[in-house]
């Protein structure tokens, strides 16, 4: 007969509670998992299942849930999980930044759609690119790689009262430079093409004032911009794959710096 006492039940809960906190913090900030269309019950259920799979392979934690040290350890788990999710979120922010710049050059900055993930309006070009890279993220199993790094983080950053290294926060700020670097590289071909087109239209307007350049300027810019967008789709998948590899390498470096 199986006898389950209160003390043994308390030890089981204590073993899986701390991994569940880190997983929940990741789900609240990471792409795909933080979508508002996913209910809170579903997120908690997935976090509990993943915590049970991870926690059974972890050594026993000496931190008790009902103690002063538990507040400090709980805050640490939330910071680690949130930092991992926000780091992966940077590649999506970079793509949305590129879409906003392209839309501004094409004259579509006024055309906005509501983004349920961000909770605000987003230009239509940024919305299209964000949808495409979300599908690519799932296709390249980015969500599985993220969970794999989460499981490995318990080896470098076990559940303990040891403080986090401040170098990890500095590494996150360095990783944020990906937003401007990769975002500009993604949109640079279209931005350059549209800039040359605007310069050409400006010269034509100065040389032949009789022509109504402003009448044909907007549809011409929009048409060439859409053609350039269709051509850049061939390079979007390998470019985003390199971004994913770069951000996951930086994420592992951030975890090492925290340790």
pLDDT tens per residue, range 200-248: 887 877 777 776 776 777 778 888 888 888 888 888 888 888 888 888 8
| Whether the Cβ atoms of residue 80 and residue 121 lie closer than 8 Å to each other | no
* Rounded Cα gap, residues 18 and 158, in angstroms: 10
* Rounded Cα gap, residues 127 and 39, in angstroms: 22
Separation in Å, CA 2 to CA 52, 216, 221: 21, 82, 74
H-run or E-run covering 2: none
- According to the model, what pLDDT value does residue 185 have? 87
- According to the model, what pLDDT value does residue 120 have? 64
* Rounded Cα gap, residues 66 and 241, in angstroms: 44
pLDDT at 6 over 60: no
Tokens found for residue 107? 């004259």
Separation in Å, CA 213 to CA 114, 121, 130, 236: 33, 31, 33, 33
Q: Quick one: average pLDDT of 151-168? A: 81
Q: Quick one: average pLDDT of 244-254? A: 87
Closest CA to 248 of 237, 258, 240, 236: 240
| Whether the Cβ atoms of residue 175 and residue 250 lie closer than 8 Å to each other | yes
145 burial level (CB within 10 Å; 0-12, 13-18, 19+)? middle
- According to the model, what pLDDT value does residue 101 have? 85
Tokens found for residue 144? 């599985």
The residue written with tokens 């926060």 in the block is: 169
Q: Quick one: average pLDDT of 128-145? A: 88
Ordered by start, the domain boundaries in the chain are: 69-258
Tokens found for residue 22? 């880190």
Angle between helices 6-29 and 40-55 (to 10 degrees): 120
Angle between helices 213-258 and 142-156 (to 10 degrees): 30
pLDDT at 1 over 50: no
CA atoms within 13 A on the CB side of 125: 26
pLDDT at 90 over 70: yes
| Whether the Cβ atoms of residue 27 and residue 85 lie closer than 8 Å to each other | yes
Separation in Å, CA 244 to CA 65, 91, 228, 229, 237: 36, 7, 24, 21, 10
SS3 221: helix
């Amino acid at each position: 007969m199986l006898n389950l006492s209160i003390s043994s039940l308390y030890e089981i809960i204590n073993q899986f509670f701390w991994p569940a906190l880190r997983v929940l913090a990741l789900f609240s900030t990471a792409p795909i998992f933080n979508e508002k269309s996913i209910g809170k019950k579903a997120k908690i259920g997935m976090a509990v299942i993943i915590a049970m799979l991870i926690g059974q392979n972890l050594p026993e934690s000496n931190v008790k849930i009902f103690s002063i040290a538990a507040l400090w350890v709980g805050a640490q788990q939330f910071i680690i999980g949130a930092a991992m999710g926000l780091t992966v979120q940077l590649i999506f922010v970079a793509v949305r930044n590129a879409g906003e710049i392209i839309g501004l050059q094409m004259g579509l900055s006024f055309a906005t759609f509501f983004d349920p993930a961000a909770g605000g309006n987003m230009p239509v070009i940024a919305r299209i690119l964000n949808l495409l890279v979300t599908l690519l993220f799932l296709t390249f199993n980015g969500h599985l790689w993220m969970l794999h790094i989460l499981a490995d983080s318990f080896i470098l950053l076990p559940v303990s009262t040891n403080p986090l290294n401040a170098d990890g926060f500095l590494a996150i700020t360095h990783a944020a430079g990906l937003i401007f670097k990769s975002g500009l590289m993604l949109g640079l071909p279209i931005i350059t093409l549209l800039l040359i087109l605007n310069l050409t239209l400006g010269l034509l307007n100065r040389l032949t004032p009789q022509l109504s350049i402003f009448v044909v300027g907007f549809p011409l810019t929009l048409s060439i911009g859409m053609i350039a967008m269709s051509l850049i789709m061939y390079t979007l998948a390998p470019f985003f794959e390199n971004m994913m590899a770069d951000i996951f390498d930086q994420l592992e470096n951030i975890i090492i710096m925290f340790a």
